[in-house]
Amino acid sequence: MTQWPIKKTPGKLLYKVVENFLQEQITAGELAPGDLIPSEPQLAEYLSVSTGTVKKALENLVHQKLLYRHQGKGTYVSRIDFNNSLFRFFSYGTHSGNPVRIRKQTPVRELAIGSEKICQRLHVPTGTEMVYIERVGFRDDKAVLIEQCWWVADLVRGLEKEEVHIPDLLYAVVVDQFDLPIVRSEESLTAEIADQTTAASLGIAVGEPLVVLHRLTYSKNNLPVEFRITRGRADSFSYRTEIR
Amino acid sequence: MTQWPIKKTPGKLLYKVVENFLQEQITAGELAPGDLIPSEPQLAEYLSVSTGTVKKALENLVHQKLLYRHQGKGTYVSRIDFNNSLFRFFSYGTHSGNPVRIRKQTPVRELAIGSEKICQRLHVPTGTEMVYIERVGFRDDKAVLIEQCWWVADLVRGLEKEEVHIPDLLYAVVVDQFDLPIVRSEESLTAEIADQTTAASLGIAVGEPLVVLHRLTYSKNNLPVEFRITRGRADSFSYRTEIR
DNA sequence: TAGTGGTCTAGACCACTCC
DNA sequence: GAGTGGTCTAGACCACTAA
């Protein structure tokens, strides 16, 4: 974080002012995921408020998962955690609820022109060039899910090339090799039945139920960078919540 | 709340002691949904801690949605809110995201013996008597979802009778007529394809995708009282979240 | 007007981390 | 030992609600 512009209170809540200030720094990319932010007394000094007010603001941001804190170390900007994806509710065999490792292959990676629908999702003009990636997830050598990913090509030039190794977590490459910080994702879940090609890839019958996850991933400044559709067998999916 | 046993600090966090104390009062039913609890200074006095500590405990419980507060009035025990059900992500026609009113009919209500599976879910011996209720949900005179409900018969004697009017929210009857407070529910979501009977009831083809919701509802003292399976058309369901 | 929760401050003391 | 966040206290002041 370059410099800390001192905000004063107009008629707003002080702790909200502190929250908004930090939130803007984060979404704008001034504070990047993993960064250490100034300590409570420092923030209090800079912003001319008491440490109690800073503490309240930080507690709220921690609750929103934008920050995390370590006693004795400091306060850090959170990294996105894809373990929070709805897709971790696929168990694929064991219903124990324990996380299951899915090995991934990448049979298709190529440059392509984005369809109207895909381009709309990514907020780019229809016909924009994309890197299209298709991945298959295996558990115990059995294909259990299929991902289709569209990346805005200008942001990840060369991702389509065979030389670039893609690990299980695709986002790791993008962050490391293309300097494209991944900040957050929006997901939506629904159900479909398997069509001919999906069924063939997953080794199931046409008409079997699938759980379908749409994911739109953003970089800093709310810039959409990837749209992804993941389809998996429904028979081992269950998402749990509690109502109060 | 009858009497307030004064808790002292062993070596635990004070605000956790206050939280646990209130939480126990609530799950045990000493404090019922809708009740007004003592004020901050009163709790601080009774429990021999500062108001700041009480405030922190209450804030945590508010965040857990066990309590809610009104400035100038007081702090209350929350009532369960079924609008938080995963099922409100059915839109049935409009994808606007606005809540849509589903009118309900109750074609089947009878006493029945619970199957092994149902009884296990409700933690009662296999063969326990149940009130079985089947409901159909309509939107614009089109059947869009089907609910099957199993209630432990001993807790709702007479619910199977035609004389008992059942409104759209079944739980209202149970709370009002049978003095059975509803405290919380656990839900799990998955997908299936429509079988013969379900397809017939919903007026769709066999093999169409369904979203299936299992719900286990509890009264006070963590007593399971109802198990429910709801099936609805998948084509207008989508559940959204955000990852950070 | 009295009582409630909501905001904000000031400061003591502790536990943890790093040097 | 210095710096960090975590807990706990004490109290001032404000905004809202009710009688």
Chain B positions touching A66 (Cβ under 8 A) are 244
How many inter-chain contacts (A to B, CB under 8 Å) are there? Answer: 109
Contact B191 A209 (CB under 8 A): yes
For the entire predicted model, the pTM comes to: 0.88
Domains of chain A (ranges plus CATH)?
A: 14-77 (1.10.10.10), 82-236 (3.40.1410.10)
Q: Are A62 and A68 in contact (CB under 8 A)?
A: yes
Per-residue pLDDT tens digits of chain B, which is 244 residues long: 444 555 555 568 899 999 999 999 999 989 999 999 999 999 999 999 999 999 999 999 999 999 999 999 999 999 999 988 988 877 654 455 556 778 899 999 999 999 999 999 999 999 999 999 999 999 888 898 999 999 999 999 999 999 999 998 999 999 999 999 999 999 999 999 999 999 999 999 999 999 999 999 999 999 999 999 999 999 878 899 999 9
Specify the pLDDT at position A236.
Answer: 78
Specify the pLDDT at position A98.
Answer: 60
B42 touches strand C (CB under 7 A): yes
Helix (H) / strand (E) element for A45: namely helix A40-47
- At residue A235 the predicted structure's pLDDT band, cuts being 50, 70 and 90, is confident
Half-sphere exposure of A63 (CA within 13 A, CB side): 11
Asked if B80 has any chain A CB less than 8 Å from its own CB, the reply is yes
Nucleotide closest in space to A50 (CA vs C1'): C9
B64 touches strand C (CB under 7 A): no
Asked if A207 has any chain B CB less than 8 Å from its own CB, the reply is yes
Contact B188 A239 (CB under 8 A): yes
Q: Which residues contact B35 (CB under 8 A, 6 or more apart)?
A: B1, B76, B77
* Nearest-Cα residue of chain B relative to residue A219: B244
Structure tokens at A133: 């990636």
- Give the span between the Cα atoms of A115 and B137, in whole angstroms: 37
Chain B positions touching A86 (Cβ under 8 A) are 239, 241
Least confident span in A35-39, A140-144, A227-231, B56-60: A140-144
Q: Is the pLDDT of residue A151 over 90?
A: yes
Chain B positions touching A205 (Cβ under 8 A) are none
Contact B244 A193 (CB under 8 A): no
Chain A positions touching B184 (Cβ under 8 A) are 242-244
Specify the pLDDT at position B35.
Answer: 94
Contact B239 A86 (CB under 8 A): yes
- Give the span between the Cα atoms of A110 and B43, in whole angstroms: 65
For residue A35, is it left (φ>0), alpha (ψ between -120 and 50) or beta?
beta
